[in-house]
């Protein structure tokens, strides 16, 4: 029987901010370390578990609650549940945090103008043209996390830096085993992560 304690790693941020890319890279590392991991991607969940829900605030809240419910089931059974969803409203993210308990919020922060410039899926352009209504960040709000355990700034960091921030935070919180001696972190980055966790009262 596995002695692994589950937890939920919740990625939030605007569309195109890099949530899923970072989540998948983190998943790979956790799997390499022998942990049981399940990724719940917001887009995939919407076409399966939450099919039929729209984009009103009530439906968005329901979508996030359902993802949180599944994360809770997985976490309490020893799995690392990784959720990657825009999850624009703070109160519902906090609802999931309270329900799950072992909950680590990762805010993938990127300025709107940078995202509109990237616009990989062409969604921002459609939203600006009025072809998509209620698009988060354009004509629907995004409420930034006030105290995320991890802040990754995807317009300033490369993927590896963001991933290591997440992994090192999980190590310092005692949620995953420590890194091999061969894996290194810069002293500056290490101190930034520790200071954030001190501010939040974890260490």
Model-level pTM?
A: 0.92
What pLDDT score was predicted for residue 1? 47
pLDDT digits (tens, 9 = 90+) for 96-142: 999 999 999 999 999 999 999 999 889 999 999 999 999 999 999 99
Whole-number pLDDT of residue 2: 59
Q: In what order do the strands lie in the sheet with 37-41?
A: 37-41, 80-84, 7-12, 103-109, 150-153
Is 162 among the catalytic positions?
Answer: no
Q: What is the pLDDT of residue 180?
A: 63
The whole-number mean pLDDT for each consecutive block of 10 residues of the chain, a chain of 203 residues, reads 84 96 97 95 82 88 94 97 96 97 98 95 94 93 96 97 96 88 73 91 89
Which pLDDT score is estimated for 187?
85
User: What does the DSSP assignment read for 161-186?
Assistant: HHHHHHHHHHHHTTSSPPPPTT----
**Catalytic residue (one of 87, 162, 182, 186):** 87
What pLDDT was estimated at residue 167? 96
Angle formed by the axes of helices 19-32 and 159-172, nearest 10°: 50
pLDDT at position 183 is 61
């Amino acid at each position: 029987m596995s002695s692994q304690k589950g937890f939920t790693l919740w990625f939030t941020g605007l569309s195109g901010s890099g949530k899923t890319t970072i989540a998948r890279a983190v998943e790979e590392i956790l799997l390499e370390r022998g942990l049981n991991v399940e990724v719940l991607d917001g887009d995939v969940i919407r076409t399966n578990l939450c099919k039929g829900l729209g984009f009103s605030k009530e439906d968005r809240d329901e979508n996030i609650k359902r993802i949180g419910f599944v994360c809770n089931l997985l976490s309490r059974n020893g799995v690392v549940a990784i959720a990657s969803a825009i999850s624009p409203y703070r109160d519902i993210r906090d609802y999931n945090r309270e329900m799950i308990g072992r909950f680590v919020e990762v805010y993938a922060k990127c300025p709107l103008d940078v995202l509109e410039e990237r616009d990989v899926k062409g969604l921002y352009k459609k939203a600006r043209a009025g072809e998509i209504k209620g698009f988060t960040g354009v004509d629907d709000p995004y409420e930034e996390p006030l105290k995320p355990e991890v802040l990754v700034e995807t317009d300033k960091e490369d993927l590896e830096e963001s991933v290591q921030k997440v992994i090192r935070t999980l190590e310092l919180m005692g949620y995953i085993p420590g890194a091999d001696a061969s894996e290194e972190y810069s002293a500056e980055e290490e101190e930034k992560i520790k200071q954030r966790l001190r501010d939040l009262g974890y260490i």
